[in-house]
Structure 1
């Protein structure tokens, strides 16, 4: 039932986009497989060659032999690919958070806004995509049930190759290697892949060595939502804690499941982590919240954010920051590393910036217990 409405909307969107271009046919990108290749600045001989690439859901996609212009299908792909090939990106899925100005090169702020394929703010802007010269559109993350049909439909309607790369916190290393093959940057992706595997393996070893604490990750402006156990967004939470948020149907959204304060009181966790822009600032003076063990004992913290939420939303590679931070916060004796040094290393690899001690201190102002400092 999902396939027909999406295909219809995509076809309608493409038709409207092309009609809206105006100015005659010369200004309208032709939706065929060779058009994006012909717009590249690289030599004709290099871009006229093609190859077959098999993506994570088994689709065999014909691609140019050399990839110089990449579009992203959503914010997860944006974060993953910004680390690897920022200069190949022809656009961004979402505008950068205002905090990004402190970390990212401003040259990347003015990239065209492509929108995104699934959920979030806005839809994929096919007009902008077709005018960008993108040689491929890359989707990264959890594959939707209709991913094959959706990408096949988009590819047929736009003439631009679409590929999906599946990535979880445990498999991001392999995802980067596949991306390296895709964009011709195997050496660069091996550095990122090895890093992701190193951090995950170390975090898993810490988790196996400790008695996990009872914890809730709370979202929403009033603190009425939780990230439920066994959801895509809960991977780090489930790895490093006893996630008390067990619900019948875990939400696939970053806002989590709405459960209400009464249920949170029944769970009564020993630790609470609040999402950015949640109820962290309000709970200290609220008598109802003070009934919770985590609040009355002072074991509640706010997730660092800059330029993204370290625990996810979107649930992309910045969750490796969340792993390092959460392990150090909850199990400081087992997490035997300097958190600032680790965070600075991440910012260098994935955001291409040098993180100062002052920037780090601001990021973790509400996020680190005394033992973890």
Structure 2
């Protein structure tokens, strides 16, 4: 465990915020979970509240029967990709972040046994978790959500929730996807350069090292958008893009994709000229981002398949297995084709 984590855990323990952590987590000596308040015993956790979008996906995978609802998603009825039980989960509003849409009064009315958030473990999110626990008395678990840590993230949260056996196949699949990606990355002598386009004109992007572009970077692709000391979202100019000349452009937004294909300035980008604009529409979860949760494992597999024929050969089976394990839904052959259909 590094020095920063040791200091953080010591500080939390000294102020009474770090208590009742399952012993197996300490045995791992690399905690990805940061508890605030006294966590209930696993068999006492029956009502789980997701604080934000990445936690929506994590909790859907691990404890769909205990999840009170989504914080950020509303799956339409008769959706061909998700089971009826998933479609009936309500959208409750987001607790995490600056623009919370779930009030303290609404939170208390839901009577959760625990609140779980996943993503960046920054001072801002730790402070928010501490404040909410102090106000409500409800224990709060903050989970580090790097894609590269997905397997251990799944295992450690499963330990807290008492679903270790259920989680192991999910963690194994995560490990397989990540290992294959790292092997592919190690074989790339000259990495392809990519740009992740967001926003109406495609000029918002995830900077190198951010949660938003982690999937592509794990494959060894080089993010052209680098900014020293910053790893979140950033704005770029068209002039800068023309200088960068990425080999591949990635986007999940239909309006962004259409703008890139039809705007005259974008026609000067090599990736556009070479028809290497990859559009992966949300379903409603994003493949590579939106949210930056464990849904990105599936996006990583799909992006890997675009460059690797061996992975492409098994992509349908992998996607259907992922839906079964992580989304508790059966994805038919026809629905799979609809899901991955390129415009």
Which TM-score band (shorter chain)?
0.7 to 0.9
CA distance in structure 2 between the aligned counterparts of 1:347 and 1:278, rounded to whole angstroms: 27
Aligned counterpart, 1:309: 286
How many residue pairs end up in the alignment? 313
CA distance in structure 2 between the aligned counterparts of 1:100 and 1:312, rounded to whole angstroms: 24
Q: CA RMSD in A?
A: 2.4
**CA spacing shift, 1:359–1:109, aligned 2, 3 Å:** closer
Aligned counterpart, 1:262: 239
Instruction: Select between 277-286 and 156-165 the one with higher mean Cα deviation.
Output: 277-286
Scaled by the length of structure 1, the TM-score of the pair is: 0.77
Say which of 307, 320, 331 aligns to 2:297. 320
Is the 2:113–2:138 Cα contact (8 Å) retained in structure 1?
A: yes
Aligned counterpart, 1:126: 104
- Deviation at 1:175? 1.3
Instruction: Select between 129-138 and 52-61 the one with higher mean Cα deviation.
Output: 52-61
- Deviation at 1:139? 1.3
Unmatched tracts of structure 1, length 5 or more:
1-50, 368-373
CA distance in structure 2 between the aligned counterparts of 1:328 and 1:279, rounded to whole angstroms: 23
CA distance in structure 1 between the aligned counterparts of 2:184 and 2:62, rounded to whole angstroms: 28
Q: Deviations over 1:290-335 (max 9, x none)?
A: 2111111111120242121100111001101111111111x22463
CA distance in structure 1 between the aligned counterparts of 2:235 and 2:76, rounded to whole angstroms: 27
Q: Deviations over 1:155-177 (max 9, x none)?
A: 12111111112121111111111
- Deviation at 1:280? 1.7
Aligned counterpart, 1:188: 166
**CA spacing shift, 1:178–1:284, aligned 2, 3 Å:** closer
Say which of 228, 238, 243 aligns to 2:223. 243
**CA spacing shift, 1:97–1:219, aligned 2, 3 Å:** farther
Larger Rg: 1
**CA spacing shift, 1:308–1:52, aligned 2, 3 Å:** same
Aligned counterpart, 1:139: 117
Residue 156 of structure 2 corresponds to residue 178 of structure 1: yes
Partner SS state of residue 102, structure 1: coil
Unmatched tracts of structure 2, length 5 or more:
1-18, 23-30
